[in-house]
């Protein structure tokens, strides 16, 4: 069977649901959200702590409450939602192939918005030697197990990473009666904001091993400990634990973008997009953590609304400027910059910001923007650049770029 709609949104997280609510409330287009989980809401559904909705809803609520609100708003606006429905591939005619308990079906849509989010790289992808004992999770897996399936974890944990999401893992572990013995980070200082580090250490009595890495996971059937190396001295020691949580180290859920032949950004590894979320596949847009792995849920949601307004114009037949887009790339310590394309004549990206990710802490970042070696902008940013969280830059840093010249390179 083929389901026909005007806009198909793949992924019912904050970005997809907000795009759906925006489009359904502003247009008469049929909007269909396809979500592989039994319930929509994305990561916030199992992230059961406060910290959601600040910028988009002007509130401060828990993940599950925030997720329920986004679902309600999308449905109230007139969007349709198919849960338990995974988009598995693209048909030759550009339709979407979906699999659900109803079997295999097709969705035919004029516009597709990819909002499939990002995930933490699991242990095998991090090349950490040792056995394959039980008790090893990412934060997402841990929170799913505890908050959605009400299962038990161990009693002593080591958390790999010290960014915001790492403290979220520590909080979840505590709720499940599991004490965090140690957080381990390669960096000179914890990546999270100072308030979280100080508050977290005081509240959870967890210490942070900086300039350190996990070199081995120990245990046969169940984790018994991890071996940790001090990167300053090379000295290794064993920390006993029965649970290990790998946090951060994000990768976009980009399989559909790849199988659809969409060009990926070499930095983010998500689809390469311009400031309104257009990919290089006609009629396919992308939003949320898929294009900036990762920012907070409110920023992903506002990004979904931004892309929805561009989709609205696209459906109205507005002709956007084409061709002459200039790639935006980051030099080290930038790991990625999003959006990765500057197309003159298009609106600025969501919130007028370039989102970036850096590999080292820079207390007073002086940003230089060059095109073909020529400096086109220079600015000192009044907030630090820190690994493990998005570093935002004003979009006007790149708007002087010459559309007939080469890539724009941002450096610190």
Ligand X SMILES: Cc1cc2nc3c(=O)[nH]c(=O)nc-3n(C[C@H](O)[C@H](O)[C@H](O)COP(=O)(O)OP(=O)(O)OC[C@H]3O[C@@H](n4cnc5c(N)ncnc54)[C@H](O)[C@@H]3O)c2cc1C
Contact footprint for ligand X (CB under 6 A): 10-16, 34-37, 42-44, 47, 51-52, 86-87, 115-117, 139-140, 143, 165, 168, 253, 256, 288-289, 294-298, 300
For the bound state, the minimum distance from the C-beta of residue 378 to ligand X, rounded and expressed in Å, comes to 31
Beta bridge partners of 227: 216, 238
Measured from the CB of residue 399, what is the shortest distance to ligand X in angstroms? 26
**DSSP helix/strand/coil, 327:** strand
Q: Say how far apart CA 38 and CA 14 lie, in whole Å.
A: 16
Query: Which C-beta is closer to ligand X: that of 253 or that of 274?
Result: 253
Which CB sits closer to ligand X, 249 or 298?
A: 298
249 vs 293: CA distance, rounded Å: 9
Q: What minimum distance in Å lies between the beta carbon of 229 and ligand X?
A: 26
Stretch (H or E) spanning 173: helix 164-175
CB of 93 to ligand X, least distance (A): 19
CB of 183 to ligand X, least distance (A): 14
Kindly give the residue spans of alpha helices, DSSP state H, lying in 264-326: 297-315
Cβ atoms 54, 298 nearer than 8 A: yes
Q: Which is nearer to ligand X, 243 or 371 (CB)?
A: 243
Q: How far is CA 256 from CA 39, 259, 356, in A?
A: 20, 5, 23
Is the Cβ of residue 166 or residue 343 nearer to ligand X in the bound state?
166
Burial of 325 (0-12, 13-18, 19+ CB in 10 A): buried
In the bound complex, what is the minimum distance in angstroms from residue 110's beta carbon to ligand X? Answer: 19
Closest distance of CB 251 from ligand X, Å: 12
Output 100 or 216, the one with its CB closest to ligand X: 100
Report in angstroms how near the CB of residue 191 gets to ligand X at its nearest: 14
Q: Which is nearer to ligand X, 73 or 409 (CB)?
A: 73
Residue with Cβ nearer ligand X (306 or 370): 306
As measured in angstroms, the least distance from the Cβ of 142 to ligand X is 8
Phi, psi of 332, rounded to the nearest 5 degrees: -50, 140
CB atoms within 10 A of CB 289: 29
Which residues have a Cβ under 8 Å from the Cβ of 17 and sit 6 or more positions away?
33, 40, 41, 42, 70, 71, 73, 74, 301, 304
Q: Which two tokens stand for residue 155?
A: 């009693």
Residue 51 or 135: which CB sits closer to ligand X? Answer: 51
- The minimum distance between CB 248 and ligand X, in angstroms, equals 9
Task: Fill in the DSSP letter of residue 198.
Answer: H
- Measured CA to CA, the distance from residue 378 to residue 314 in angstroms comes to 34
Q: Which is nearer to ligand X, 205 or 258 (CB)?
A: 258
- Closer to ligand X by CB, 34 or 398: give it: 34
Gap between the Cα atoms of 102 and 105, Å rounded:
8
- In whole angstroms, how close is the CB of 276 to ligand X at the nearest point? 17
**Distance in angstroms (rounded) separating the CA atoms of residues 199 and 351:** 29
In angstroms, the CA 45 to CA 40 distance is 8
User: 290 or 377, CB closer to ligand X?
Assistant: 290
Taking CB atoms, the residue at the shortest distance from ligand X is 13
Structure tokens at 195: 């308030």
Residues for the chain: how many in total? 412
Tell me the H-state helices in 32-154: 54-57, 63-77, 139-143
Q: Which residues are CB-neighbours of 171 under 8 A, at least 6 positions away?
A: 49, 204
* CA pair distance 150, 155, nearest whole angstrom: 15
Beta bridge partners of 86: 99
């Amino acid at each position: 069977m083929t389901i026909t709609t005007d806009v198909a949104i793949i992924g019912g997280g904050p970005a997809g649901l907000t795009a759906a609510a925006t489009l359904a409330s502003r247009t008469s287009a049929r909007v269909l959200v396809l979500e592989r989980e039994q319930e929509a809401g994305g990561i916030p559904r199992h992230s059961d702590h406060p910290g959601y909705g600040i910028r988009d809803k002007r509130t401060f609520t828990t993940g599950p409450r925030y997720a329920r609100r986004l679902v309600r708003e999308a449905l109230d606006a007139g969007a349709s939602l198919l849960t338990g429905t995974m988009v598995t591939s693209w048909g030759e005619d550009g339709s979407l192939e979906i699999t659900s308990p109803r079997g295999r079906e097709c969705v035919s849509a004029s516009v597709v918005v990819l909002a499939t989010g990002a995930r933490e790289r699991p242990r095998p992808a991090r090349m950490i030697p040792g056995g394959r004992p039980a008790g090893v999770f990412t934060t997402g897996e841990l929170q799913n197990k505890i908050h959605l399936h009400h299962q038990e974890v161990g009693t002593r944990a080591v958390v790999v990473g010290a960014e915001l999401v790492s403290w979220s893992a520590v909080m979840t572990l505590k709720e499940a009666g599991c004490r965090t013995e140690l957080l381990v980070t390669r960096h000179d200082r914890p990546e999270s904001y100072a308030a979280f580090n100080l508050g977290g250490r005081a509240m959870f009595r967890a210490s942070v091993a900086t300039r350190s890495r996990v070199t081995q996971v120990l245990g046969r059937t169940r984790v018994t400990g991890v071996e940790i190396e001090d990167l300053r001295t090379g000295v290794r020691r064993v920390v006993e634990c029965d649970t290990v949580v790998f946090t951060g180290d994000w990768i976009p859920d980009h399989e559909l973008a790849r199988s659809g032949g969409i060009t990926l950004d070499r930095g983010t590894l998500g689809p390469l997009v311009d400031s309104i979320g257009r990919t290089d596949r006609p009629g396919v847009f992308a939003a949320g953590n898929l294009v900036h792995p990762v920012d907070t849920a409110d920023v992903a949601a506002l990004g979904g609304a931004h892309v929805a307004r561009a989709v609205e114009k696209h459906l109205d037949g507005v002709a956007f400027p084409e061709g002459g887009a200039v790639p935006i790339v980051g030099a080290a310590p930038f790991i990625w910059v999003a959006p990765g394309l500057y197309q003159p004549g298009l609106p600025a990206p969501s919130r007028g910001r370039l989102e970036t990710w850096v590999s080292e802490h820079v207390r007073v970042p002086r940003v230089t923007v060059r095109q073909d070696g020529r400096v086109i902008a220079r600015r000192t940013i009044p907030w630090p650049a820190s690994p493990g969280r998005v570093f935002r830059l004003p979009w006007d840093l790149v708007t002087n770029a010459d559309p007939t010249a080469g890539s724009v390179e941002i450096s610190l």
